[in-house]
């Protein structure tokens, strides 16, 4: 006991009182989730401000004598005249594998009732995108499991591919299918003990969506067993505009951790139209000058700095990647509106979904003519490239000829054959939601199409043919599919085997 007291006394003698300098200010105006603060002479842009009562703010406007702070929390507790403090920290979110399977808000706080998020690392929400030196070309594929995308608009790891279309055209469904397919591939590799396989983790950022829609999405992912590989950052419509504005940046920070640590991640921003609206609201209450459609002048920079964070980095910089699938909702199919044109010009391609196609029963309602992938073809599997080379051209020609054929004019045999082939491809590309197709099955089916095996199949029986062929291949010729998946290229021997297998199937199919 005497030793302990001596020890304490020695520590007291050695202790030196220090008073750290703090930068403070006073709230002079508050409303609409924004406070104007006098003082805070040393506040930094995007610095977290301690507003008292456990509430945090974010310094967004630095004027000569005032600071405009957006409040991340319940601002009704704050009053004019309250003293606030600069924290010296930028806004950060917890990152790491501990977030997998969790639903969190913009600040990384759990929303799923599963307790504290297991993470001891935090990343700043706003971060500079990797520069030219750190990047390397996109060469690895992201298998979405959606046949028209994997065949015609391939996406690579590190790419930014926009999904654009009117409301209720299946934009979110494409993303959910992609997440489910990644989970399926990750699980299969884990079971097989494949050390070479690079798992792709998914981050879904819900911005300004209905809580019921988010809940439904979580249920779908849970039922498909995809949640263990997925993180959901939710900022629903009931959240403040500030939280909605920050949510995609928080999601990007979470994704960057995977990229920096040699892993691959996929991030979905659903959707950036609502994000732009939230940012417009924040800017207007901050009294920033407004421009076209009342959006602030930096709305392009808002999305470009966000999407530039998606990249594939070199081996000495982590050897990871972050693939971004931003979603934009158009009004009446108008792709030339302000925000859609901005995001189209930022991304490396777009998948355009058409309402007309959707109601014609072509689902996913991908418009082949307007959809493009600018860098993904370098990442496409060679086997897929071999079987899908002419598909996009064939389909585009089909659409043109089909429109012409509507006039009822007589058609020559060649044109009729092209139209027939097109009808069959369209039918083949129809796919049920939440049921992604493995790439080896896609390759085998497309090979059959390219080699005329479906030319004599009636259009209305194409889906039945495809289902039976898939069943035949999966149950009876699994080793052939395995060879395609492993070799990733259709060698002469594989082609010969494929021919024999499909010939034998064709004999039994009625």
Answer for the pair 455, 421: CB distance below 8 angstroms, yes or no: yes
* Residue 62 in contact with other proteins, rule: CB under 8 A: no
Q: Is 82 in the site for other proteins (CB under 8 A)?
A: no
Q: Which is nearer to other proteins, 64 or 492 (CB)?
A: 64
Q: How far apart are CA 180 and CA 409, in angstroms?
A: 45
Residue of 6, 22, 219, 435 interacting with other proteins (CB under 8 A): 22
Site for other proteins in 304-343 (CB under 8 A): none
Name which of 22 and 435 has its Cβ closer to other proteins: 22
- List 11, 65, 336, 486, residue binding other proteins (CB under 8 A): 65
Residue 87 beta carbon to other proteins: minimum distance, rounded to whole angstroms? 12
CB of 17 vs other proteins, minimal distance in Å = 6
d(C-alpha 443, C-alpha 461), whole Å = 20
Q: How far is the CB of 375 from other proteins (least distance, A)?
A: 45
Q: Closest CB to other proteins among 2 and 19?
A: 19
Q: Could you tell me the end-to-end alpha-carbon distance of the chain, in angstroms, rounded to an integer?
A: 93
The single residue among 4, 17, 413, 475 that binds other proteins, judged by CB under 8 A, is 17
Point out which span in 23-31, 321-329, 441-449, 494-502 binds other proteins (CB under 8 A): 23-31
| CB crowding 333-360: b at 16 or more within 10 Å, else e | beeeeebbebbbebbbbbbbbbbebbee
Least Å distance between CB 8 and other proteins? 16
Which phi and psi (to 5°) does residue 375 adopt? Answer: -120, -10
Q: Which of residues 377-406 bind other proteins (CB under 8 A)?
A: none
Sorted by sequence, the CB contacts under 8 Å of residue 119 that are 6+ apart come out as: 94, 95, 96, 98, 99, 108
Distance CA 59, CA 181 (A): 40
Peptide bond into 284 cis (omega under 30): no
Nearest distance from C-beta of residue 84 to other proteins, angstroms: 10
Residues in 32-51 at the binding interface with other proteins, rule: CB under 8 A: 38-42
In the set 13, 19, 191, 413, which binds other proteins (CB under 8 A)?
19
Q: Which stretch binds other proteins (CB under 8 A): 22-30, 339-347, 483-491, 501-509?
A: 22-30
**For other proteins, how many residues bind (rule: CB under 8 A)?**
16
Nearer to other proteins, 122 or 402 (CB): 122
Candidate ranges 16-24, 136-144, 217-225, 351-359; the one touching other proteins (CB under 8 A): 16-24
CA atoms within 13 A on the CB side of 191: 6
Nearer to other proteins, 21 or 414 (CB): 21
- The total of other beta-carbon atoms located within 10 Å of residue 242's CB is 26
Q: How far is the CB of 82 from other proteins (least distance, A)?
A: 14
Q: What is the pattern of x (binds other proteins, CB under 8 A) and - over residues 102-131?
A: ------------------------------
**How far is the C-alpha of 490 from the C-alpha of 351, rounded, in Å?**
27
Minimum distance, C-beta of residue 52 to other proteins, in the bound complex (Å)? 11
Which residue number, 21 or 195, has a Cβ lying nearer to other proteins? 21
24 binds other proteins (CB under 8 A): yes
Q: How far is CA 29 from CA 25, 38, 44, in A?
A: 12, 9, 20
Interacting residues with other proteins between 440 and 459 (CB under 8 A): none
**Own/partner long-range contacts of 457-465 (Cβ < 8 Å, ≥24 apart):** 457/424, 459/420, 459/423, 459/424, 459/427, 462/424, 462/427, 462/428, 463/427, 463/428, 463/430, 465/509
374 catalytic residue (yes or no): yes
Our finding on whether 20 is near other proteins (CB under 8 A) is: yes
Strand ranges of the sheet holding 321-329, from the earlier edge strand across to the other edge: 103-104, 230-235, 200-207, 264-270, 321-329, 162-165, 349-353, 372-373
Cβ proximity to other proteins: between 89 and 261 the closer is 89
Which residue of the set 85, 134, 374, 461 is catalytic? 374
Q: Taking CB under 8 A as the rule, does residue 25 contact other proteins?
A: yes
CB of 86 to other proteins, least distance (A): 9
Based on the shown chain and the rule CB under 8 A, indicate whether residue 11 belongs to the binding site for other proteins.
no
Q: Least CB distance from residue 83 to other proteins, whole Å?
A: 9
Strand pairing class (155-156; 66-72): unpaired
Contact 482, 440 (CB under 8 A): yes
| 23 near other proteins (CB under 8 A) | yes
Distance CA 331, CA 337 (A): 9
Pick the closer one to other proteins by CB: 13 or 19.
Answer: 19
Q: Which two tokens stand for residue 190?
A: 């884990």
> Which residues, in sequence order, are CB contacts of 97 under 8 Å at separation 6+?
none
E-assigned strand segments in 418-490:
none
Closer residue to other proteins, CB minimum distance, 23 or 304: 23
Please report, for residues 79, 209, 349, 371, 458, the alpha-carbon distance to residue 338 in angstroms, rounded to integers and kept in the order given: 38, 21, 17, 19, 44
CB-CB contact of 188 with 216 (8 Å)? no
Figure out which of the listed residues 12, 13, 14, 64 binds other proteins, where binding follows CB under 8 A. 64
Which positions lie near other proteins, rule CB under 8 A?
17-25, 38-42, 64-65
- Positions marked active-site: 374
């Amino acid at each position: 006991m005497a030793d302990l007291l001596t020890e304490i006394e020695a520590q007291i003698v050695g202790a030196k009182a220090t008073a750290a300098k703090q930068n403070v200010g006073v709230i002079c105006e508050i409303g609409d989730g924004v406070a104007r603060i006098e003082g805070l002479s040393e506040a930094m842009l995007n610095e977290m401000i301690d507003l008292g009562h456990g509430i945090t703010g974010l310094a967004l406007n630095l004027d000569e004598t005032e600071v405009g702070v957006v409040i991340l929390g319940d601002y009704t507790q704050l009053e004019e005249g309250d003293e606030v403090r600069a924290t010296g920290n930028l806004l950060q979110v917890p990152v790491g594998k501990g977030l997998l399977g969790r639903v969190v808000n913009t600040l990384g706080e759990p929303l799923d009732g599963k307790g504290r998020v297991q993470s001891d690392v935090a990343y700043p929400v706003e971060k500079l995108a990797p520069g030219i030196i750190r990047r390397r070309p996109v060469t690895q594929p992201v298998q979405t499991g959606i046949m028209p995308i994997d065949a015609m608009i391939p996406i690579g790891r590190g790419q930014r591919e926009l999904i654009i279309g009117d409301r209720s055209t299946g934009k979110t469904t494409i993303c959910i299918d992609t997440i489910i397919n990644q989970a399926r591939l990750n699980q299969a590799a884990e079971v097989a003990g494949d050390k070479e396989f690079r798992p792709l983790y998914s981050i879904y950022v819900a911005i300004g969506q209905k809580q019921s829609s988010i809940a439904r999405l979580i249920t779908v992912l849970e039922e498909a067993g995809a949640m263990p590989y997925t993180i959901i950052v939710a900022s629903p419509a009931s959240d403040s505009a500030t939280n909605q504005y920050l949510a995609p940046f928080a999601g990007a920070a979470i994704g960057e951790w995977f990229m920096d640590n040699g892993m691959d991640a996929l991030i979905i921003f659903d959707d950036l139209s609502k994000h732009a609206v939230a940012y417009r609201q924040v800017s207007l209450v901050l009294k920033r000058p407004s421009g076209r459609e009342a959006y602030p002048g930096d709305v392009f920079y808002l999305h470009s700095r966000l999407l530039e964070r998606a990249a594939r980095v070199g081996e000495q910089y982590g050897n990871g990647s972050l693939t971004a699938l931003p979603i934009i909702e158009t009004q009446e199919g108008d792709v030339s509106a302000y925000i859609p044109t901005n995001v189209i010009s930022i991304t490396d391609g777009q998948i355009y979904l058409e309402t007309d196609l959707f109601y014609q029963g072509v689902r996913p309602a991908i418009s082949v003519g307007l959809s493009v992938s600018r860098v993904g073809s370098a990442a496409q599997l060679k086997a897929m490239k071999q079987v899908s080379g002419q598909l996009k051209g064939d389909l585009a020609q089909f659409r043109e000829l089909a429109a012409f054929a509507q006039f009822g004019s007589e058609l020559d045999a060649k044109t009729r054959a092209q139209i027939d082939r097109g009808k069959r491809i369209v039918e083949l590309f129809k796919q049920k939601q939440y049921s992604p197709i493995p790439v080896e099955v896609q390759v085998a089916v497309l090979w059959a199409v390219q080699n005329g095996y479906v030319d004599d199949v009636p259009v209305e029986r194409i889906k039945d043919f495809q289902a039976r062929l898939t069943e035949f291949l999966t149950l009876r010729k699994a080793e052939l599919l395995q060879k395609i998946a492993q070799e990733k290229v259709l060698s002469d021997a594989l082609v010969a085997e494929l021919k024999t297998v499909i010939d034998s199937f064709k004999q039994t199919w009625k």
